[in-house]
């Protein structure tokens, strides 16, 4: 009886700690979103991210970006609704996550691992799914490309299931007239289909 009570207390403490962490994350996101509303800050972020995008597209520039702290912080800008900044962030993250060309085989550097870790938080993955579901086509395609790359990492699958990514995106996979979007979503589906829960989510749609 005593052991059961102790286990229940431990579970309650874990739930409280989890709620506290989620509240802290939401508060930090709210502060960052408010800060990004400033026109001057937005202009500076856009210019800096544009530079990062150009570096990522260059053979030498990408290595400099990978070796910096940029990959760990860039995913936080996905919450922007600015139509100029958002595609720059998405394209830059795609380049970082996709480098080197064969990520499942090639070892990842620490900054890349940090980028993937930051990009695969519940809030970031949920944001990517929301972009695919509700934004205009150019944003949908970029978000789907990034999501398909991230889905190749086994560590991402549980979070994708947690946010019901399959259930939310199946209608776009089936009904979209955008061939490139369907292709990216199909790649993501193939990665997630190895998990029985993800398959069940597909059947439940």
Tokens for 113, please give them. Answer: 């691992």
Identify the band that residue 104 occupies on the pLDDT scale cut at 50, 70 and 90: very low
pLDDT, mean over the chain: 80
Do both 42 and 29 map to the same domain? no
Q: Which residues span the domain enclosing 11?
A: 1-36
What is the tally of structural domains in the chain? Answer: 2
Residues 159 and 60 grouped into a single domain: yes
Q: Which helix (H) or strand (E) holds 77?
A: none
Shared domain check, 101 and 12: no
Q: What is the CATH number of the domain that holds 171?
A: 1.25.10.10
Identify whether residues 77 and 99 lie together within a single domain. yes
pLDDT per position as a tens digit, 148-190? 998 888 878 888 888 888 888 888 888 788 889 999 999 998 8
Contacts (Cβ under 8 Å, ≥6 apart) of 36? 42, 45, 77, 79, 80, 82
Q: Are residues 6 and 92 in the same domain?
A: no
The helix, strand and coil proportions of the chain, stated in percent and rounded to the nearest 5, come to 80, 0, 20
pTM of this structure:
0.73
For 109-128, write each residue's pLDDT tens digit.
665 666 666 666 788 899 99
Q: How many CB atoms lie under 10 A from the CB of residue 117?
A: 16
Could you tell me if residue 164 is left (phi over 0), alpha (psi between -120 and 50 degrees) or otherwise beta?
Answer: left
pLDDT number for residue 20: 65
Assess whether 30 and 42 both reside in one domain: no
Q: Clarify whether residues 14 and 68 are in a common domain.
A: no
Instruction: Please say if the pLDDT value at position 103 is more than 60.
Output: no
Q: Residue 15 pLDDT more than 60?
A: yes
The pLDDT value recorded for residue 89 is 96
Residues 54-67 have a mean pLDDT of 88
């Amino acid at each position: 009886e005593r052991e059961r009570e102790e286990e229940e207390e431990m579970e309650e403490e874990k739930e409280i700690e989890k709620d506290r962490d989620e509240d802290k994350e939401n508060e930090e996101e709210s502060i960052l979103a408010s800060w990004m509303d400033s026109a001057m800050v937005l202009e500076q972020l856009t210019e800096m991210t544009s530079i990062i995008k150009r570096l990522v597209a260059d053979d030498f520039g990408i290595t400099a970006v990978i070796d910096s702290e940029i990959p760990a912080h860039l995913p936080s800008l996905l919450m922007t609704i600015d139509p100029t900044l958002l595609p720059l962030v998405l394209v830059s993250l795609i380049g970082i996550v996709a480098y080197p060309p064969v990520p499942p085989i090639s070892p990842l550097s620490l900054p890349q691992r940090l980028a993937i870790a930051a990009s695969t938080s519940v809030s970031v993955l949920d944001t990517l799914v929301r972009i695919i579901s509700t934004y205009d086509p150019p944003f949908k395609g970029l978000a789907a490309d990034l999501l398909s790359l991230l889905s190749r990492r086994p560590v991402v699958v549980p979070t994708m299931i947690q946010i019901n990514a399959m259930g939310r995106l199946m209608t776009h996979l089936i009904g979209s007239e955008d061939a490139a979007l369907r292709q990216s979503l199909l790649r993501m589906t193939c990665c997630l289909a190895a998990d029985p829960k993800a398959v069940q989510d597909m059947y439940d749609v």
